[in-house]
Structure 1
């Protein structure tokens, strides 16, 4: 097996990682301030956080009072260099970015108030007409289970373009996708695997964004519950979500229930919402928030059982979006001849990754394709135009 390449750093060796921490996310922090009514003290702390990132100051120690304090304090010590704390622009990007969003939760005192600092952003999207038109399109898909899964998996993929922290990705929309945008399409492997009679009855979706993407993921969950046979117990769909708000639009429990409430207000989506609520009541749809999905840990650093994914019962794990792709593949660019299956070789369950590309992390794309895309647009990996449906099957 090829050795796993080092993850991206914020030190300028990867332009996108450097620009994210030095410029893009400090602006996000200031936008969060503008969209909320924080106290002067919280506002000052957030402004200082943004300024520290932009000016490459040392990362401050994390709080000892949050539920995940042990993880962040250990990670902080692990990233010391020569006995000194790391600076924002000289450390592992995955660590820096996840820590940034932890700091926003810490400094806004989320665990004391329960107030989602990104709620104003999320409310704006859930009120958009485009979201509900797309859901109506998805509900209207007809055909045999194979055909419906083919189309709904595509909607679940391209729904990932609607990421409130990435305006360039959102600009491509969902309806604008075409066949050339999908660089790898493993649906021919995934759909027969899902529809075959097996003893394993659990399908796990590791979720990403609320709003449009969550809407498409719930549509997919409903279709899986209706279509996937199980030789033993009833089919279950497990929705793995963040323990606390992060990355502006990532899904937390309140987002799911709010969306179901909104769906029930509309005649076209009421039946879908009611089926999902019934599946939840029957413990066929299971919502699983876990602090690991907010952490700086890569997937191989934590046994799957710790996040309630049990290999013997699992038919498929579906990961959504860039952050999960980075978490499972190592937040790096693998050599062109390394297949996706090898990069996730530590996984002992079937895995599929659905992702609109919004950063440089990549595996499984041959060199000829990379060169052609690079010649057309040097930023092709990070603009959200292109998508991947990859599997280790």
Structure 2
């Protein structure tokens, strides 16, 4: 038997000058400082709602977060979680696993351990700071930023809702070529919507100001892997082979709230309205995560905001989408696994129930950079390694990643393609300027 090639090393803060290093050194402390500031600013509100207990809880949470920031900045060893939350044991097992890696650096610490683990660990500790301090345990420290992104993207949201509602008027008359063109447009809007990422900008404004549809033509050269044809043929074949008993199901593994979520909802509605899919499952985060990731609250809030907007096409979208949820053709799920430190090659072992659920899908759409990092194990791959290989046996169903590049990992490029861009644009992997629509047919 041929030996299985060893996996490349994990991205890590050990590599000075890497995105991982700068994220741990600069961006993560900035995010923690913003979280502390947010709690300070809400002190009066906590007092009004909960009296002295609210203020005491706020103080305890801030002290916990200040200590966390200090541990990070001084590269202290990672400590086990001490809370009673349902996932704590899994996190602590993962810490033991990191400690015992044969090629590890001994005691895991902030700069020496895999970046993916450390970054996820920080967000889980932020969650613990609140969850352990009732009565403010349900406060989402990132909620304001997500709402602000939504409101500051109004023009783009109106443009997209208007375009989509106009499209729906004629959707029954579109021939196959026109349907394909519309799918490709909305896949690209959903791809570039992934630029609106608050963890990437450490919470600075990242809203979508202009109509996302006008610039699509100009953006095509920046899609480094463009597998839209494969997505189209998969959906068309699924539709042709559908029987009365088997629905065509698409799952969207969500990334950011705000404009990006809206672009995903429009894509999902298009798939239903064009009869390319019969049901859509949305997978969000069960706790506030990576500053702008979508929770159930964000998902429902967005649809309510649209439904009550005083703009005809925005409210039409919101009301229709509320209806899709009531009818059960749209389903929102949040599984604990999405906020664990594991990459997806471990899903079948750690969360077999979720893996089995994804196996029911005809197509999995993974949004964004964090999902791409977890798909490929967040490793220093050669650019031309096939996507299928980097997935490392994660093949529950055919899948497609829609992702703008914001970290040092990218696979599936043509030989020499990455090196050529690197020569003229050293920041190409981290600027969010380039994207992929990258498909894997599964087994």
TM-score surpassing 0.5?
yes
Q: Does 1:258 align with 2:284?
A: no
CA distance in 2 between counterparts of 1:4 and 1:86 reads 19
CA distance in 2 between counterparts of 1:337 and 1:132 reads 36
1:44 to 40, 63, 66: 63
Aligned position for 2:368: 321
Q: Does 1:184 align with 2:209?
A: no
Aligned position for 1:159: 193
CA distance in 1 between counterparts of 2:276 and 2:225 reads 26
Aligned position for 2:418: 370
Task: From the CA coordinates, give the structure whose radius of gyration is larger.
Answer: 2
- Residue deviations 1:175-233 (CA, integer Å, cap 9, x gap): 65612221111001111211232346211111100001100111111111222446xxx
Is the partner of 1:319 in helix, strand or coil?
strand
Aligned position for 1:294: 339
CA distance in 2 between counterparts of 1:291 and 1:363 reads 27
- Aligned-pair distance for 1:333? 3.0
Structure 1's unaligned 5+ residue stretches are none
| Matched residue count | 389
Aligned position for 1:4: 7
CA distance in 1 between counterparts of 2:112 and 2:81 reads 18
Aligned position for 2:54: none
- Aligned-pair distance for 1:369? 1.7
Contact residue 156 and residue 213 of structure 1 kept, 8 A: yes
TM-score under structure 2 length normalisation = 0.81
Aligned position for 2:50: none
Q: Does 1:122 align with 2:146?
A: yes
Is the partner of 2:410 in helix, strand or coil?
coil
CA distance in 1 between counterparts of 2:352 and 2:315 reads 35
Structure 2's unaligned 5+ residue stretches are 44-57, 168-173
CA distance in 2 between counterparts of 1:360 and 1:83 reads 21
CA distance in 2 between counterparts of 1:169 and 1:121 reads 8
Aligned position for 1:18: 21
Aligned position for 2:409: 361
CA distance in 1 between counterparts of 2:124 and 2:28 reads 13
Which has the higher mean CA deviation after the structures are superposed, 154-163 or 117-126? 117-126
Distance 1:291 1:111, change over 3 A: farther
Aligned position for 1:274: 319
Aligned position for 1:211: 258
CA distance in 1 between counterparts of 2:8 and 2:205 reads 26
Aligned position for 2:47: none
Distance 1:272 1:205, change over 3 A: same
List 4+ stretches of structure 1 deviating above 4 A: 81-84, 171-177
Aligned position for 2:122: 100
Contact residue 118 and residue 248 of structure 1 kept, 8 A: yes
Is the partner of 1:302 in helix, strand or coil?
helix
Aligned position for 2:157: 132
CA distance in 2 between counterparts of 1:116 and 1:278 reads 27
Aligned position for 2:76: 57
- Residue deviations 1:303-324 (CA, integer Å, cap 9, x gap): 2752265466321011000111
1:90 to 91, 107, 112: 112
Contact residue 335 and residue 354 of structure 2 kept, 8 A: yes
CA distance in 2 between counterparts of 1:312 and 1:166 reads 31
CA distance in 1 between counterparts of 2:208 and 2:420 reads 20
Distance 1:111 1:376, change over 3 A: farther
Q: Does 1:247 align with 2:290?
A: yes
Is the partner of 2:263 in helix, strand or coil?
helix
1:77 to 92, 96, 102: 96
